Structure 1
Amino acid sequence: MGRSETRKEKLRKLMGRLSAVGAFSKTQAKAQCPELSPQFVSVVLDDLVREGILDRYGTKSDETFTWRNAQVRVDPSHWIERKVEGNQVLAQPEQERPREKLLATGAEQLSDADLLAILIRVGVKGESAIQAGQRLARSFEQKLSDLRRSCKQELRDISPAVTVTSYAAIMAGIELGRRVADHEIKQRCEQTPITSTSAAVEFCQTAFGGLARSAVQEEFHIVTLSTKHLPINTHLITRGTLDASLVHPREVFRPAIRDSAAAVILVHNHPSGDPTPSREDFQVTDRLTEAGKLIGITVLDHIVVASQACVSIRELS
């Protein structure tokens, strides 16, 4: 018996015995096939979870597995065949192909590997789009947010199927998803009036979360508010070290006047991660508060956003 047939036989044995059980632990799975190595069983279970066939619950030391894809549980032959012989999309049953699964059940039902396979679209010799998606999903399993910061060569080192075209599709998909999420958050925030320090901090934590986490230099923004203190818009005023001479009232209040704002929230970030306001931060707040009084626009608060926390300068004054 060749290596591929031997592996198929081991998979048939494991899948056949597990398919009779609705829920089981990793220890129980290994006990079902004591003739198979514990490492082999662990790898197969991880693959089944990654491909959305099993669901995993609990902690690493106390895991429980249940079947999500009942079809593979009843007839695992197609899954075993492509696991051993390869994952070419056209060689799979139609209902197991990522694009067809998306159209049939919706994108939210697909695994990370399936979504990446759809973005990669086509494979290369020796590596299908599905295999590439699985490799990438495995590499970023505990750090999916790092995917958007990866360069083409880093992803290509993981899978040769990541070409210029597929890399561009992955990055475009990530960015579009981020913009859709930001828009949904902004819509929710726009419907909530900001009438307190806690509301201002909560709004800025949401609206400027990306700035707090990943900006490498200071940026100064304003949030314009209506007479009912509903958010109207956000505006970038300046980028660079915060300095009273750079944050000129004219530049700050011009977009506020254009928005017919009744009030504004001042916002800037600390790339260091420490939100503690500096002496300069207090000076900028006082200067702009006085300028706002002259033109009839209230400076409601000045929020410092950082990776560690967001703080209100008004609350500390």
Structure 2
Amino acid sequence: MGQQKKRKEKLLQLFKTLSPISAFSKQQARERCADLTPQFVSLALKDLVREGILDRYESSDQETYAWRNAQIRVDPSHWIERQVSGNQVTAQPEQERPRERLLSSGAETLSDADLLAILIRVGVKGESAIEAGKRLSKTFSDKLSDLRRSGKDELRNISPAITVTSYAAIMAGIELGRRVARHEQLHRRAHGPITSTSAAVEFCDDAFSGLAISGVQEEFHIVTLSTKHLPINTHLITRGTLDASLVHPREVFRPAIRDSASAVILVHNHPSGDATPSREDHQVTDRMTEVGQLLGITVLDHIVVASEGSVSIRELA
């Protein structure tokens, strides 16, 4: 306990000494904190950089540090407490650790915080992966889908344990889960043919639900269909503003030919939430229909998906 108190006092002394200075070199930090060992100062600076509290700049002759968040300089108690006491996974009984519980009971029994902790995998000094998972879960408790659109720095501000590696793991986990869900939906729908506008809209509502709700830019996809109009696969063609001059028929029909498709459904999203087709949407539909006729591949429909509902361009024509 005495060691913890001493460490807390040293960290507080370092903060009081350096916080009034907006930027400083490692040598300046050591000189100003002369009562602390150079090794202690260096390790403290390293931890502060790793947790996103300090920014580090390196030139040919020295290392310079600058405070990223002025608020930390006013009240460092939270960071110091985590440095001293911590909350590491190894302190948890083995049977209570998320990974062990997943292996023994299955992933479906875990909370969002547990699953995030497994993806984060390794914490930082003073903040375990478990604590980081709890922080993210609490922040996104009512808007979990927003996690997919969050940047690395945004998550890092929530927990210092979000490194480049853990951020990549979280984004990869979300995308893989989205793809698995999409293929499960495709499999469920694959047992019935798509022979009507309502069937096409229903299929696309399922297969592209994530795109309709979470898409931040326009994406153009196709659904390939067999001779009996059973779904074969979905293919992303392009991202960006939909324009008849930019969506090339070669790129659209190449995967259809590869799938030996008899027909296709064109699909794209409106990030605004309003699925009302634009003039360009109609132009793309007409152009692809003409090319499809030449290739012997029917363009069955063009569905616009959006958070407020989906629309069939064929039905509006």
**Could you tell me how far apart the structure 2 residues matched to 1:121 and 1:283 are?**
49
1:132–1:238 distance in 2 versus 1, CA, 3 Å: closer
Q: Partner residue of 2:91?
A: 91
Q: What are the residue-to-residue correspondences of 1:68-87 with 2, within 5 Å? A: 87=87
Residues 258 and 168 of structure 1: CA distance in aligned 2, closer, same or farther (over 3 Å): closer
The answer for the alignment partner of 2:208 in structure 1 is 208
**Aligned residue for 1:259?**
259
Tell me how far 1:247 sits from its aligned partner: 4.2
State the shift of 1:224 in Å.
1.8
Mapped partners of 1:113, 1:202: distance in 2 = 33
Aligned position for 1:135:
135
Aligned pairs for 1:133-212 within 5 A: 133-212=133-212
TM-score by length of 1: 0.64
What corresponds to 2:306 in structure 1?
A: 306
Gapped regions of structure 1 (runs ≥ 5):
1-84
Deviation of residue 204 (structure 1)?
1.2
Percent identity reads 82
Q: Are the equivalent residues in 1 in contact too, given 2:86–2:125 (CA < 8 A)?
A: no
Q: Partners of 2:150 and 2:218 in 1: how far apart?
A: 23
Q: Which residue number in structure 2 is paired with residue 114 of structure 1?
A: 114
Q: 1:238, 1:92 → 2: CA distance?
A: 47
1:57-113 residue CA offsets vs partner (Å, 9 max, x unmatched): xxxxxxxxxxxxxxxxxxxxxxxxxxxx86433333332222222222111111122
RMSD: 2.6
Q: Contact 2:186 / 2:231 at 8 angstroms: preserved in 1?
A: no
| Distance in structure 2 (CA, Å) of the matches to 1:244 and 1:153 | 37
Change (3 A) 1:289 1:176: closer
What residue number does 1:223 align with? 223
Report the counterpart of residue 271 of structure 1 in structure 2.
271
SS at match of 1:195: coil
After TM superposition, give the deviation of residue 117 of structure 1 in Å.
2.2
| In structure 2, C-alpha distance between the alignment counterparts of 1:95 and 1:249, rounded to whole Å | 56
Question: Residue type of the partner of 2:183?
Answer: H
**Counterpart residue identity of residue 300, structure 1:** L
CA distance in 2, matches of 1:124, 1:249: 50
Q: Partner letter of residue 105 of structure 2?
A: T
Deviation, 1:310, is: 0.7
Residue identity matched to 1:307: S
Q: Is the 8 A contact 2:178 2:210 kept in 1?
A: no
Aligned length: 233
**One-letter amino acid matched to 1:98:** P
Instruction: Identify if the C-alpha distance between structure 1 residues 174 and 302 changes in structure 2 by more than 3 Å, giving closer, same or farther.
Output: closer
Instruction: Please say if residues 145 and 214 of structure 2, whose CA atoms lie closer than 8 Å, have aligned partners that are also in contact.
Output: no
Partner AA of 2:301 in structure 1: D
Q: Per-residue deviation at 1:211?
A: 2.9
Give me the whole-angstrom Cα distance separating, in 2, the residues matched to 1:116 and 1:209: 23
How far is the alpha carbon of 1:140 from its aligned partner? Answer: 1.6
For residues 28-84 of structure 1, give each alpha carbon's deviation from its aligned partner in whole angstroms, at most 9, with x where no partner exists: xxxxxxxxxxxxxxxxxxxxxxxxxxxxxxxxxxxxxxxxxxxxxxxxxxxxxxxxx
Cα offsets for 1:199-241 (capped at 9, x unmatched): 1001112222333234444333322211110112233444444
Q: In the aligned structure 1, how far is the partner of 2:266 from the partner of 2:226?
A: 15
